[in-house]
Amino acid sequence: MTALKISDNEFHRLVKFIQSKYGINLIQKRALIEGRLSKTIAERGFKSYDAYFDMAFNDESGLETVQLVNKLTTNHTYFMREVQHFEFLRDVMLPHVEKTCQNTRSAAIWCAASSSGEEPYTIAMIIDDYFGARKKGWDLRILATDLSTDILKKAQAGTYSAEGLKDVPEKWKQNYFKRNADGTYTVVDRIKKEVIFKQFNLMDPIKWKRPFDIIFCRNVMIYFDTETKNDLVERFYDVMKPGGYFLIGHAENVSKESRFKFVQPATYQRV
Ligand SMILES: C[S@@+](CC[C@H](N)C(=O)[O-])C[C@H]1O[C@@H](n2cnc3c(N)ncnc32)[C@H](O)[C@@H]1O
């Protein structure tokens, strides 16, 4: 089946809507839009993109726009991605947390675009491995958020192919996963309980009350325009503890004007 062609007007209408509501810039993604939406439009009996957008953009329940954005987002991720961050977590950030959070024995850690869960589960495994028996009495649960409800369901299930675990150390594979009869692996409950998944649009005000010790926001701002990205970075700054660490993808950058202090590539600290 050939993809239904989107007109210039329809294309710009969608680009504008998605940009203003979710920050995602689709201006270079015309082919992706046609590829991902034309089947839905045909299946649901709409005659044009405009007819589908009229319905979706005006749906008061919000469910239609969630479905639309589920189709347009790129969720690519994998275990141990950009491993330097995880080494830094083990060698610097967790010792910092252990020292500075002794009084409350709890830290606020946020994985702000968690996709299918590989990133927050990697963080939870590193925490478990680092603290070992000392973890008793500590609350180091990770808040993991994403815009896409479909991907959050996959994350909560915590089941991955054997190929998806190829970079996970053998010891962790044994300690933190159970092998299923079909050859897939599921994260053990002990680690699952350490990750709290919630839907959150990074364009919305950040309302969590506790200031964060660590924020991972990797490989999502690359889809945002400069203004949206800079604004988000400063909003992260405002909800962090002084000395807290902020991590972005290695292909991303933080503006020179930002209040964050550069620590090493893709790693920043609130002053
Ligand atoms: C490429 S994945 C990155 C996953 C992971 N952080 C990593 O580095 O591997 C980008 C994720 O950002 C999410 N996303 C895109 N726009 C968002 C927004 N406005 N608010 C929250 N999440 C968003 C997408 O649904 C997708 O799961």
pTM reported for the whole predicted model: 0.95
Q: Which atom of ligand 1 is nearest to the CA of 22?
A: 19
User: Does the Cβ of 215 fall within 6 Å of ligand 1?
Assistant: no
Provide the residue ranges of all domains of the chain, joining segments of one domain with +: 8-72, 83-269
Q: Which atom of ligand 1 is nearest to the CA of 202?
A: 20
pLDDT digits (tens, 9 = 90+) for 46-62: 999 999 999 999 999 98
User: Does the Cβ of 75 fall within 6 Å of ligand 1?
Assistant: yes
Residue to probe by mutation, ligand 1, list 21, 115, 145, 248, most atoms within 8 Å of CB: 115
Q: Which atom of ligand 1 is nearest to the CA of 224?
A: 16
Would you state the pLDDT for residue 1?
65
User: What CA–CA distances, in Å, run from 10 to 30, 54, 65, 85?
Assistant: 11, 11, 16, 41
Q: State the residue for tokens 């930002």.
A: 258
Helical spans, DSSP H, in 23-104: 30-43, 49-57, 63-72, 83-88, 94-100
Distance 141 CA to ligand 1 centre (A): 20
Tell me, which fold does domain 8-72 have in CATH?
Chemotaxis Receptor Methyltransferase Cher; domain 1 (1.10.155)
Task: Give the CATH number of domain 83-269.
Answer: 3.40.50.150
Q: Whose CA is nearest to atom 2 of ligand 1?
A: 75
Could you tell me the two tokens for 243?
């000395």
Sign of the dihedral through C-alpha 194, 87, 119, 172: negative
User: Does the Cβ of 86 fall within 6 Å of ligand 1?
Assistant: no
Could you tell me the two tokens for 146?
């994403």
Q: Would you please indicate which residues are annotated as catalytic (active-site) residues?
A: 36, 146
Distance 137 CA to ligand 1 centre (A): 32
Q: Whose CA is nearest to atom 3 of ligand 1?
A: 219
User: Does the Cβ of 24 fall within 6 Å of ligand 1?
Assistant: yes
User: Does the Cβ of 69 fall within 6 Å of ligand 1?
Assistant: no
Would you state the pLDDT for residue 2?
77
Ranges of residues in the chain with a pLDDT under 70 are 1
Would you state the pLDDT for residue 172?
97
